[in-house]
Amino acid sequence: MRSPRRPSLRRAAPAVVVLSLLAAACGDDAAEEGSAATTIAGSGTTDSGETAGSSGSGDAAAECSRADVYDRTVDTSAELGEPAAPEVPDKPEVEIPDGDVTELEVTDLVEGEGDEAVVGDTVVVHYVGVRSEDGTEFDNSYDRGSTFPVTLGAGMVIQGWDEGLVGAKAGARRQLDIPAELAYGDTPQGDVIQPGDALSFVVDVVAVIAATDPTDEPAVEVAGSGNCDELFVTDLVEGDGAELQLGESAYVHLIAYRGDTGEQVASSWETGQPQGITFVEDGALPGLIDGMVGMKVGGRRQMAIPAVDAFGSVGNEGLGIPADVDLVLVIDLIAAF
């Protein structure tokens, strides 16, 4: 079995490495390809091991002063309920082309709606791939039940995908017939793909997520505070899209701050790419999941997460967040599906 992704020897950008320290792998479609970049959304706390760095810079007994800044608190003891099972389309049949595939052929079987994908956008898909010569299947995402995110032009996948998915819309079903030179060339892949093989894919486009401009990062000043026992949230921008549902994949931008000093320590805006998370109880830092309940697409929310629901007594050395220090996040919900 071989997915259309390509191995990369490039080192992750510093911003991506920093974000990787904020969460463990989400284990599904939203995090599959960019695990380092998506991890700000992923890990629960741990209270074992060595603490990271020194304790908070302020007075350990400083009082919580967030009540006058945030709109409300969130009851973190409430059960979130059972997540809905993701909807997976039926796996389509791939009609193999007549004759040799000598150039990239793109056929829209279903048109889709919304904006066309351009280079830099992330396209989230289901797919099935076969040898163009005889229709032998080598991989599909439908049986796994998880989508596959592709950032166009980033070299994450074979060239035929990078070129062939440009112009696709959400809801589209597109067939890509790809010559060997835009696939794996003379390099065999697994037991099915042989040297010189042309490949055919049928791709269902679940979502098209536009790249963002790093200069659009919001300027949010965070006041330092002593640690708090409650999760505080406030909506800086009310979203006008669909409300995020438990079990959905979400794409977010986020900025992280030390709760005690208000110092910014990480931002996904630096990469220009929203980061994928899974909105389930164990899909991210506990405080992040609780704090996003009720968010709508297009919304921006600030949340102050108690240390126990962030990095706890271990802290996060890579981010410079000491043990037992609260975490403040500013979240933009870009897409949910």
Amino acid 58: pLDDT: 44
Mean pLDDT of 311-334: 93
Amino acid 16: pLDDT: 42
5 confidence band (pLDDT: 50, 70, 90):
low
Question: How far, in Å, CA of 316 to CA of 43, rounded?
Answer: 12
275 confidence band (pLDDT: 50, 70, 90):
confident
32 confidence band (pLDDT: 50, 70, 90):
very low
Q: For the chain, which residues make up each domain, given as ranges?
A: 14-83+212-336, 105-209
If you write DSSP's letter for every residue of 84-109 in order, what string do you get?
Answer: PPPP-PPPPP--PPSS---S-EEEEE
Burial label, 221 (beta-carbon count in 10 A; 0-12, 13-18, 19+)? exposed
Tell me the CATH architecture of domain 14-83+212-336.
Roll (3.10)
Nearest alpha-carbon partner for 32 in 123, 146, 162, 151: 146
Backbone angles phi, psi at 105, to 5 degrees: -120, 125
Could you tell me the maximum CA-CA distance found in the chain, to the nearest angstrom?
76
Note whether 14-83+212-336 and 105-209 share their fold.
yes
pLDDT tens by residue, 72-130: 999 988 888 777 777 889 999 999 999 999 999 999 999 999 999 999 999 999 999 99
Q: How far is CA 126 from CA 17, 141, 188, 243, 300, in A?
A: 28, 6, 23, 23, 29
105-209: CATH topology: Chitinase A; domain 3 (3.10.50)
45 confidence band (pLDDT: 50, 70, 90):
very low
With 0.85 as the threshold, say if the pTM is over it: no
- Higher-pLDDT residue of 58 and 298 is 298
Query: Which are the contacts of 26, defined by CB distance < 8 A and separation ≥ 6?
Result: 38, 41, 42, 276, 277, 278, 283, 284
